[in-house]
Chains A and B, each alone.
Chain A
Amino acid sequence: GAGVSQSPRYKVTKRGQDVALRCDPISGHVSLYWYRQALGQGPEFLTYFNYEAQQDKSGLPNDRFSAERPEGSISTLTIQRTEQRDSAMYRCASSYGLDTDTQYFGPGTRLTVL
């Protein structure tokens, strides 16, 4: 596609349920980043991949959060046993090159945990 896409765009779930958020990066982009963004603030780094390898997951809040990118393209961010505090916009970005290249963001998934 022309840009980074994310699905679903909106997700409402009940506390305790697991959710899976998908990111489809720009074709050919090597690096893929996941961020969480609170209202009125900038994206907060969660984790990133170069190809299929997870480079840094230090931003994941706790072990309920995990991410994978098994074939170096599409990535899934999974949140297990969701809690209300997990409600946020989850954004994905990709870049053509490694580390220092321009990152292009997707539209985000708005997660609401009831």
Chain B
Amino acid sequence: GESVGLHLPTLSVQEGDNSIINCAYSNSASDYFIWYKQESGKGPQFIIDIRSNMDKRQGQRVTVLLNKTVKHLSLQIAATQPGDSAVYFCAGEGQNFVFGPGTRLSVLP
């Protein structure tokens, strides 16, 4: 079966620092990946996506890196702000979507 998972369940960073959230996937047929952000009591919101023919994609303050060789995905958040505190999910589509368990990002003042 396929799985998408995160290395760490929690991550604490100082405000202003960069954050890196990692994700591993097992289905080598996955060709599309997404990062979502979920705040307490709210549903997941799309952040950024990347297709398997790319290894990097940048958005506003966020960058997603894809390493297909080791089946690893990461989300980098530049200059982390208090509003970035949330749970972050990675998701990959191969045969079907799977959302890995989330990583809770806490931004320290």
Contacts and interface: CB of A to CB of B under 8 A. Distances in A.
Interface of A: 33, 41-48, 55-56, 58-59, 91, 93, 95, 99-105, 107
Where chain B touches its partner, the secondary structure class is: strand
A42 B34 contact: yes
A105 B104 contact: no
4 nearest A-B residue pairs (beta carbon): A103-B99, A100-B102, A45-B43, A42-B34
B41 A55 contact: yes
Given A100-B101, A104-B99, 8 more contacts: A41-B49, A43-B34, A45-B45, A58-B43, A93-B97, A99-B38, A100-B102, A100-B104
Where chain A touches its partner, the secondary structure class is: strand
Interface in B53-109: 87, 89, 91, 93, 96-102, 104
A104 B40 contact: no
Given A102-B100, A107-B96, A59 B34 contact: no
Contacts of A99: 38, 40, 87, 102
Contacts of A103: 89, 91, 98-99
Nearest to A108: B96
